Structure 1
Amino acid sequence: MRVASFFLLPLLSLLITLTGCSRKEREALVIGMDATYPPFEFKDAQGKVSGVSVAIGDEIGKTLGKQVIYENMSFEGLIPALQSGQIDLIISSLTANDQRRKSIDFSDPYVKTGLSILVAKNSTVQSAADLKTPGRKLAVRIATTGEQWCRAELPGAQLVALDTDAACVLEVVNGRVDAWVYDQISVMNYHEQHPDTTRAILAPLREEVWAVGMKKGRDELQAQVNATLARMRAEKVFSKLADQYMAKERDLMKAQGLPFVFE
């Protein structure tokens, strides 16, 4: 019996430790994002995820009284990770649309934006109508609403489907495609980085809203997220985040007569 107890005690201790670990994991709020999209989600100089989306996630964690864990993953993997239970929420500049609502639920919107166009400097594209000219070649980022729009609205275009922003921008910069359809903030920022080889056509092709994604049926969590977003608006938290992360973009959009994303 002494020998059995000698072996059983460490085993019991290990089981208690493992049970405690799994309980802590269940009590944490796991948020998925693709941290390649500044100023909303990106890695800072120390390699830590940061940005507007992280600030929103932290506020939701406060509401729920939970530790927040951020999982950085590819954008196209976010919805499958949510459906499988690997993550609890998606906060990753995710457009809420009818196609995605078939598989997941959304919070109330927190950003209003639109699809726009990053154009090669020497391209003849001057407006959305020009994208319909036969023979157009466009870059699209896989699993984004820009790709969905191009496939639905431009059936005659040749699409180059790529999995990162950087790859899409490079196609435009090098003149291998006429344009890239993406959101206004990104198009502004990438044009600013490549002013000699690109042009930005910011008039929205289509207005869109971003929201927090969650697994279907999590009604209580959805209500808590919505309450957090409402509190953030009431307390002017979004205005403070704009001052911290997006002052340049806000001023540029207002100068062009475009509504800012938090308005």
Structure 2
Amino acid sequence: MKKLLLFFILITGILFTSCGEEKKTNENKPLIVGMELAYPPFETKDSNGNPTGISVDFAKEFGKFIGKDVKIENIAWDGLIPSIQTKKVDMVISSMTITEERKNIVDFSIPYANSLLGMLINKNSPIKDAQDLNKNNITIAVKTGSTGFIYANKYLTNAKITSLADESACVTEVIQGKADVFLYDQLTIYRNWEKNQNTTKAVFIPFQNPEKWGVAVRKGDTELLNKMNEFIEKFNKEGGFDKLTEKYLSEEKENFDKLGFKWFFDLDE
């Protein structure tokens, strides 16, 4: 009987120790954040190849908020959501638009930024505004899986749609005249037009309902989601997004204000 009691005490102690060690391990485990480091200044690399940008700073500030180190995983765009599903990452912070299709497979935080579409147009193209897009003589370049891709496939079915893996390939298609237009977010369009003014023109679509960027987590991970929502509200109230704008996008903010475009972090309706 004494041996049985001793055995029971020993097993119970091992179980509690194991549970305690597992909990401690989970607490010390870094927060793994997926990003495609190909969209400066939000997600990119510095001269040494290290992750940098608005989303990187944002993720690290969230890490401080929950008391965890942050590890950034550079993942191709079409692999970001699968990386959440397979538990390769804990969340994705990668300028990702909240869509109904994506909400079916991941959970999103409250919005932290706006996303609006613009057009980079070849100067020899007949396109003058968005009403000219949905015609069978128009070729539209889109980045696979992007909001422009979703929009074009849903609303521009009369046009020829060329889907490519990255934005630089889409820009090249327009510059070389293989595509009439590249449909993407306004900041990317603005920057690529600045670099290619001899061959392209930029047309913005200011009178549209802005779509929203959110942080994506695994379905049902309410604990992490609630912490992120709390952080976003706190970070916004304390001027965190204003500081990121000043650090990374001060010139763009000034130009967007002059043009009357809605800013990324202006979430007021």
TM beyond 0.5: yes
Matches within 5 A, 1:1-263: 23=25, 27-204=29-206, 206-263=209-266
Contact kept in structure 1, 2:121 and 2:182, CA below 8 Å: yes
CA shift for structure 1 position 119? 0.7
Q: Deviations over 1:46-78 (max 9, x none)?
A: 111100000110011111111100000100000
Residue type of the alignment partner of 1:252: N
CA shift for structure 1 position 25? 9.6
- C-alpha distance in 1, partners of 2:114/2:251? 17
Partner of 1:14: none
4+ residue runs of structure 1 moved beyond 4 angstroms?
none
Unaligned runs of 5+ in 1: 1-18
- C-alpha distance in 2, partners of 1:61/1:250? 27
After alignment, is 24-33 or 228-237 more displaced? 24-33
Distance verdict in 2 for CA 1:187–1:149, change over 3 Å: same
Contact kept in structure 2, 1:139 and 1:159, CA below 8 Å: yes
CA shift for structure 1 position 26? 7.0
Q: Deviations over 1:121-149 (max 9, x none)?
A: 12111111000122210111011111010
- C-alpha distance in 1, partners of 2:84/2:27? 16
The number of equivalent residue pairs is 245
Residue type of the alignment partner of 2:265: F
Q: Deviations over 1:210-232 (max 9, x none)?
A: 01010110111011111111111
- C-alpha distance in 1, partners of 2:243/2:28? 32
- C-alpha distance in 2, partners of 1:253/1:196? 22
SS at match of 2:124: coil
- C-alpha distance in 1, partners of 2:25/2:77? 28
CA shift for structure 1 position 23? 3.7
Partner of 1:3: none
Q: Deviations over 1:159-191 (max 9, x none)?
A: 111101110010011111000110111111111
Using the size of structure 2 for normalisation, the TM-score is 0.87
Contact kept in structure 2, 1:115 and 1:206, CA below 8 Å: no
The CA RMSD measured in Å over matched residues stands at: 1.8
Unaligned runs of 5+ in 2: 1-20
- C-alpha distance in 1, partners of 2:58/2:139? 37
- C-alpha distance in 2, partners of 1:113/1:200? 17
Residue type of the alignment partner of 1:250: K
- C-alpha distance in 2, partners of 1:33/1:258? 26
- Aligned sequence identity (%): 35
Residue type of the alignment partner of 1:247: S
